[in-house]
Structure 1
Amino acid sequence: MLATAVAAAAPEVPVRSGRGHLTVLLSGTSSDAHTWNLVYLQLLLEEAGHTVVNLGACVPDDLLVDRCRDLRPDLLVMSSVNGHGRRDAAQAGRRLRQCPQTAGVPAVVGGKLGIADRPNSRLAPELLAAGFDRVFGEQVSELLEYTASVPAR
């Protein structure tokens, strides 16, 4: 029964048409200790044909910038479920854009980004100003559609 419910809730994974796979750096925010969201996103992105480097939970900004500089991913995906993503991701985005070697790395963020009952679309201007290219809600289908359009570097 649970497997049926999970299969029914899983989004359809778009196939990349001739663009090749992406190298995706996946990360939680500095104060978010949740890991299930990161494992789920990793599996979905890998199913879509991407190579994923999962930094895990509670990633300090310095480590995130260092790994982006060393790996030069096609895309950085940050996820939060503790509700502090708005603050933590904004700080990480600014740090990422301040480093000349990582300033051009495409970066997106999503999940539960605030503790108030407001949609992420209301938090998006602050996160876009901090350096993110896109801000997603809690629907991973939007992320998967987006990754299908990102060119490999």
Structure 2
Amino acid sequence: MKPAEWAARHRSGPLDVVVTGLPSDAHTWNLIYIQLLLEDLGHTVVNLGSCVPEDEIVESCCKFQPDLLVVSSVNGHGFNDARPLIGALRSRWELAGLPAVIGGKLGVSGGRQDEADELMRAGFDAVFQDGADITAFESYVGSLPREVER
């Protein structure tokens, strides 16, 4: 897409959200739960599913132009898989400002704050550790602007 096509994009109303698992995570129940939660909040969701390759996530975000990317992990490898993904997203000019969050079981040693901090430094806008109250995620989503301009 040309930059002028992106600049002309205006939206008012519900958010368009892409929900995805990571390449090494075959779990789906978490993705369905997040999809249903977001839809209950009035948003439109594209669920890419589980075991999604990094390049497919990036290209899907370019294609769908979401207002938010939600990455979920259950298997404990989220921390390792997420760092290259966020790097790939942030390297694309058209995705540089895309709000991206990750949540779930991000490491096999439990929810370590240093891992969450590193993911934030790498480019995620929010990290929701396993066991976090779902209202924190709902509050984050609710804080995003309904009018998006890129």
What SS does the corresponding residue of 2:45 show, helix, strand or coil? strand
- Map 1:40-119 → 2, pairs under 5 A: 40-117=33-110, 119=111
The residue aligned with 1:149 is 143
Tell me, which stretches of 5 or more residues in structure 2 are unaligned?
1-11
Tell me, which stretches of 5 or more residues in structure 1 are unaligned?
1-18
The reply on whether 1:127 has 2:116 as its aligned counterpart is no
Structure 1 length-normalised TM: 0.83
Aligned residue pairs, count: 134
Stretch moving more, 62-71 or 132-141? 132-141
| CA distance in structure 2 between the partners assigned to 1:104 and 1:97 by the alignment | 8
User: Would the aligned equivalents of 1:32 and 1:57 in 2 still touch at CA under 8 Å?
Assistant: yes
Q: What amino acid maps onto 1:133 in structure 2? A: D
| CA distance in structure 2 between the partners assigned to 1:131 and 1:22 by the alignment | 20
Q: What amino acid maps onto 1:89 in structure 2? A: A
Q: CA deviation at 1:121?
A: 2.8
Give the aligned CA root-mean-square deviation in angstroms. Answer: 1.2
| CA distance in structure 1 between the partners assigned to 2:90 and 2:31 by the alignment | 23
| CA distance in structure 1 between the partners assigned to 2:113 and 2:46 by the alignment | 27
| CA distance in structure 1 between the partners assigned to 2:99 and 2:32 by the alignment | 21
What SS does the corresponding residue of 1:67 show, helix, strand or coil? helix
User: Would the aligned equivalents of 2:116 and 2:129 in 1 still touch at CA under 8 Å?
Assistant: no
Which of 128, 137, 149 does residue 136 from structure 1 map onto? 128
Q: What amino acid maps onto 1:55 in structure 2? A: L
Q: CA deviation at 1:42?
A: 0.4
Deviations 1:34-76 (A, max 9, x none): 0000001100110000101000001111001101111110000
Structure 2 length-normalised TM: 0.85
Q: CA deviation at 1:122?
A: 2.8
Among all aligned residue pairs of Structure 1 and Structure 2, give the percentage whose two residues are the same amino acid: 52
User: Would the aligned equivalents of 1:121 and 1:135 in 2 still touch at CA under 8 Å?
Assistant: no
| CA distance in structure 2 between the partners assigned to 1:109 and 1:91 by the alignment | 13
